[in-house]
Amino acid sequence: MNKKAKILVVDDDVQHVDTVRTLLENVGYEVDYAYRPEKGIEKAKAFKPDLIILDVMFAGPPGPDGVETSRKLNEDPDLRGIPIIILSGVRKVLDLPFKLQPDEQWMPVKAFLEKPIKPDKLLAEISSALEK
Amino acid sequence: MKLRTKTNIGILLVFCILAISTGVVTFRWHTNHAIKGAENRVRLYIKAAWEIYNSKTDRIQFALLVLAEDDKLKNFMLDRRSTDLRAIVLEQLERVRREQNMDILNLVDTKGRVVLRTRNAGVRGDDVSNDPMIRLVLKDRRRSGGTVLFDSGRLQTEGEDLVRLAKLYGGESGAMMTGAAVPVKHNGRLIGVIQMGNLLNGSVEKVDRIRDSLFENQRYNGKPVGTATVFMRDLRISTNVLNQDGTRATGTRASGEVAERVLKNGRSWTGRAWVVNAWYLSQYDPIRDPDGQVIGMLYIGSLEQRYLDERSRAVLLNLGVVFGGMLLAVVVFYLIIRTILSPVHRLYQATRKLSAGDLTHRIDVRSNDEIGELSDSFNHMAEQLLKDQKEIQESHAQLEERNEELHTTNRNYMEMLGFVSHEFKAPLGSAILGLYSVKDGYLGPVSESQTRVLGSVAHSLDYLNDMVKHYLDLSRLEKGELRPHRRTVRIKAEVVEPILSGLRPAVEEKQMVVTSCLADDLTANADPSLLRIVYENLLSNAVRYGREGGSIQLAGKRRNGTVELVVYNDGDGVPADKINRLFKKFSRIDNIRNAREKGTGLGLFICKEIIDQHGGSINAESEEGQWTKFTFTLPAEASVGQPLQQVQ
């Protein structure tokens, strides 16, 4: 790894963002973050990350959810191709009555991960996503 | 059959038996009574008949006694040579004979020879001492009377015309004569006998007098009520029994049986006798001459039909009274039974109504007997039932209300539980990630004691995380939000494999071997997310409670439209007496060896709920200290009528 890989974390949970940031920086990634999806897209354009970690549900004023954001990112010519991992506390179908599987059209992401997650698993998924 | 019908039939039966037996007894009694009565009357009749029969004899005797005192007659008897005197006496006696309408009037001397004959006066001097009447007077010097039998010689002597007359009414040469003979005395010395009599043959005077006195010549249904007959031996010589052609039945004979008894044995004969054209209750008495010889019979017959009809009338009257009384009794009984049974019927109808649910129906109690008491207690019972029903309804309503309250409370509780659990999720997520980052050394070296403490904190957080997951599922189950959205699920690829990959670190840590015999194309008609929850619970249990170095086996197969799935693990297992409690809410099987591995007590309950909602079933088997095996079923295909859930 010549150059530090850049990871953008988009999540509304401040503690979570802190933890993920600390972990990733400690294992050698360069990390930026955003608490709102709209802000995340802006940050992505400026930060040009190698990987984006997205939450699904965001508290606060109404806006796009994580899945919608993943589609927007994929539609943006500047950002298309950046791998996305969704890391969400959504208990899958119980909260959202739709299929939560990575899907080219509907949810163009590399992986759908569920909180809580152990660092081993998270780091393995990140490595795997960056390799592709 | 109804009680009333039974009772009525019973009463009728009893009365029928009574009526029949009374009828029979009455009939027999009346028949006996009528026959006996009739026989008694016939005996009386014949006594009276004898009186009448003999009365003429007495009159003749009286007349003869007067004649015997006549001086001319005495003188003639003392000296019969004077022809003048003979002519005078003859004329005198002949006048008497004609006046008295007598057939013979003779004077007999003490030797028994006829000295003067009024009829057939030319013949005299013949010996009549064999005439019992004459012989008795000569012997006893006293008057005598009765009936004697004249042989044809005597009859011839008495008069040619008498022979013809006798023949006309009997066909025999002899004849029967009734009359009397009286001694003629002079100064106490017997000087002769005077005899007077009537021929019975052809004479109807006696028999008609008897009939007229006793029966008043009445007729009954065209037949004479009574008849009288005089027999010379067994020959009817004087009778008012008529032949079919209306002539008197003179010249016919009595039956052998009667002749035998009466003529030969000299005894009376009483009984039923068929006379010409009807049955008569009859008596035949012997007629004796003064010597006591039986020479004929006196017959009296009384029409039997009259007594039978009398009996019939009496029987009818009697039975009429009896049957009338019985009919009245039946009616009275019927009314009594009806009076008794109608409250029973009302009671029956009331119980019918009560059992049909009409608790307000009451019986109008009119009597104060047992039925009345029964009705009373029925009313009490109905009252009590109504009261109880009201109470039950009230308490039922209260229960419903309370139940609704409890439901609401539970829903509120579950909502709060869900909310709290959900709020736990985010902080738990970051806490677990952070803690493991430190514990696993990603943030710098960690000492051994730090690792141990961090490990136990991590365990607690994992447990807390399980609880949060389960409570969230539970709250959704209890609120009824967990409805399966079914489709065809590939069990291995869509459900089992992702879960196994998530569990791999834990499996490896315990050095367990997972063997899956699930075919790639094994599918079930199920909600994949819910099925995932089931497998997550079963598999994480298998790992958590499995033996280190042991095996976990997965299997599944289709059978008759269902899919049967098995999750097996080596391990301590579950005691047999506790295996049924596994699927209960908050049930925990305490296990000292696995004390560290405390479960939430909800996982298997949630599994069972989910499988129930799919129409399947789940059960557990275990060999304590050896293994545990869960088997559950799911439908293989969508059942008819079940909407297909197209999940986007």
Residue B630's pLDDT is 95
- Chain A residues in contact with B648 by the CB 8 A cut-off are 98-99
Question: Cβ separation of A116 and B437 shorter than 8 Å?
Answer: no
From A79's Cα to the closest Cα of chain B, the distance in A is 26
Does the pLDDT value for residue B523 go beyond 50? yes
Alpha-carbon gap, residue A52 to A64, rounded angstroms: 16
Alpha-carbon gap, residue B507 to B552, rounded angstroms: 9
Does the pLDDT value for residue B397 go beyond 90? yes
Burial-class residue B323 by CB neighbours within 10 Å (0-12, 13-18, 19+).
Answer: middle
- pLDDT (tens digit per residue) in B128-167: 999 999 999 999 999 999 999 998 889 889 988 888 888 7
Residue A45's pLDDT is 93
From B459's Cα to the closest Cα of chain A, the distance in A is 12
Binned at pLDDT 50, 70 and 90, residue B304 comes out as confident
Do B523 and B488 meet the contact criterion of CB atoms below 8 Å apart? yes
Q: Quick one: which of B62, B4, B36 has its CA closest to B340?
A: B4
Closest residue, chain B, to A87 (C-alpha)? B429
Does the pLDDT value for residue B233 go beyond 70? yes
- pLDDT (tens digit per residue) in B319-372: 888 888 888 888 888 888 777 777 778 888 888 888 888 888 888 877 778 878
Residue B635, preceding bond cis, omega within 30 degrees? no
CA atoms within 13 Å, Cβ hemisphere of B561: 6
From B426's Cα to the closest Cα of chain A, the distance in A is 7
Residue B550's pLDDT is 92
Question: Cβ separation of B433 and A26 shorter than 8 Å?
Answer: no
Which segment of A47-56, A89-98, B482-491, B528-537 scores lowest on mean pLDDT?
Answer: A89-98
Angle between helices B497-509 and B528-545 (to 10 degrees): 10
Which of B437, B485, B509, B540 to probe by mutation at the A interface, max A CB count within 10 Å? B437
| Torsion angles phi and psi, residue B48, rounded to 5 | -60, -40
Alpha-carbon gap, residue B571 to B620, rounded angstroms: 14
Strands B513-516 and A111-114: unpaired
Q: Between A91 and A128, name the one with better pLDDT.
A: A128
Q: Between A11 and B374, name the one with better pLDDT.
A: A11
Does the pLDDT value for residue B646 go beyond 60? no
From A67's Cα to the closest Cα of chain B, the distance in A is 14
The structural domains of chain A, with segments of one domain joined by +, span: 6-131
3-state secondary structure of B482: coil
Question: Cβ separation of B505 and A120 shorter than 8 Å?
Answer: yes
**How is residue B586 written in tokens?**
């908050």
Edge-to-edge strand order for the sheet containing B104-108? B114-117, B104-108, B189-199, B175-186, B144-150
Residue B390's pLDDT is 92
Binned at pLDDT 50, 70 and 90, residue A93 comes out as very low
- Chain B residues in contact with A127 by the CB 8 A cut-off are none
CA distances from A9 to A17, A18, B168 (A): 7, 10, 174
Does the pLDDT value for residue A117 go beyond 70? yes
- pLDDT (tens digit per residue) in B551-574: 999 999 998 889 999 999 998 888
Contact map slice: B 319-348 vs A, CB within 8 A: none
Binned at pLDDT 50, 70 and 90, residue B276 comes out as confident
> Measured between CB atoms, does A6 come within 8 Å of chain B?
no
Does the pLDDT value for residue B1 go beyond 70? no
Binned at pLDDT 50, 70 and 90, residue B504 comes out as confident
Q: Residue written as tokens 């065809």?
A: B488
Which segment of B103-117, B340-354, B545-559, B600-614 scores lowest on mean pLDDT?
Answer: B340-354
Binned at pLDDT 50, 70 and 90, residue B590 comes out as low
- Chain B residues in contact with A22 by the CB 8 A cut-off are 434, 437, 443
Binned at pLDDT 50, 70 and 90, residue B591 comes out as low
Residue B593's pLDDT is 53
> Measured between CB atoms, does A57 come within 8 Å of chain B?
no
- Chain B residues in contact with A23 by the CB 8 A cut-off are 433-434, 437, 442-443
Residue B18's pLDDT is 83
Closest residue, chain A, to B462 (C-alpha)? A116
For the whole model, what pTM was predicted? 0.48
> Measured between CB atoms, does A19 come within 8 Å of chain B?
yes
CB atoms near residue A131 (< 10 Å): 7
Q: Between B648 and B188, name the one with better pLDDT.
A: B188
> Measured between CB atoms, does A117 come within 8 Å of chain B?
yes
Do B523 and B490 meet the contact criterion of CB atoms below 8 Å apart? yes
Question: Cβ separation of B436 and A119 shorter than 8 Å?
Answer: yes
> Measured between CB atoms, does A94 come within 8 Å of chain B?
yes
**Please, what is the average pLDDT of chain B?**
86
Is the CATH number of domain A6-131 3.30.70.1050? no
Residue B589's pLDDT is 66
- Chain A residues in contact with B443 by the CB 8 A cut-off are 22-23, 26
Q: Between B481 and B529, name the one with better pLDDT.
A: B529
3-state secondary structure of A57: coil
